[in-house]
Amino acid sequence: MTDFKHTNSSNLAAYSARQVYKKAYTEAFNPLKSLRMKTKTAFVVLLSLLLGYAPLSAQNNASNEDIKAKASMAVDALDEAFKLEKSKKQNIEEIFVEFYQDQQKLKNNIQRPASGLAQGLSSQDFQSVRKRNDALISERDNRLKKELSEDQYKKWKGDIEPSLHKRKK
């Protein structure tokens, strides 16, 4: 005799209760369910880490490529104007790469604080950032003076450097 042949309410309630208990029993003692849950959780955590890291990695790669592009543009302009020797060209490229990396560090500190303790824009005013940037520029210029002759340096400051600062529209 099965539960489906009788239609009285007590048999239906008993059938329903047995189904509930059976389901609870299989869920409670199913070791694979807990393993599946842990696997799903680990997958979600791993996926969120990867998705969170990808933009940061792309941003760093983009800024490094941007720095190299800026440095090579400056060196190419100097090489075109002065036909630099290979060793001098490498030294000048080093100067520009370091300069643009230091500027990028300065910009990153302005835009995103190093820690959550308000070390970003709130603790820096425009003048202090400007002073640090001017110090970077003067350090770069002093190093360039050692690599270029006086006439070449004047041409750099008067003609070549301003042409590099023109904004693209």
52-111 tens-digit pLDDT = 766 655 555 557 788 888 888 888 888 888 888 888 889 989 999 999 999 888 887 775
Q: How much is the average pLDDT of 120-143?
A: 80
Q: What is the pLDDT of residue 138?
A: 92
**27 pLDDT more than 60:** yes
Q: What is the pLDDT of residue 64?
A: 77
**139 pLDDT more than 90:** yes
Q: What is the pLDDT of residue 128?
A: 82
Q: For 140-149, which contacts have Cβ atoms below 8 Å and span 24 or more sequence positions? A: 140/95, 140/96, 140/99, 143/95, 144/92, 144/95, 147/88, 147/91, 147/92, 147/95, 148/78, 148/82, 148/92
What is the C-alpha separation between 169 and 162, in angstroms, rounded? 16
Q: Which residues contact 112 (CB under 8 A, 6 or more apart)?
A: 120
Q: What is the pLDDT of residue 65?
A: 82
Q: What is the pLDDT of residue 143?
A: 92
Q: Which pair of structure tokens corresponds to residue 159? A: 């003609």
**130 pLDDT more than 90:** no
- Where are the domains positioned within the chain? 9-164
Q: What is the pLDDT of residue 169?
A: 44
Confidence bin at 167 (pLDDT 50/70/90): low
Q: How much is the average pLDDT of 126-146?
A: 89
The secondary structure element, H or E, covering residue 43 is helix 31-82
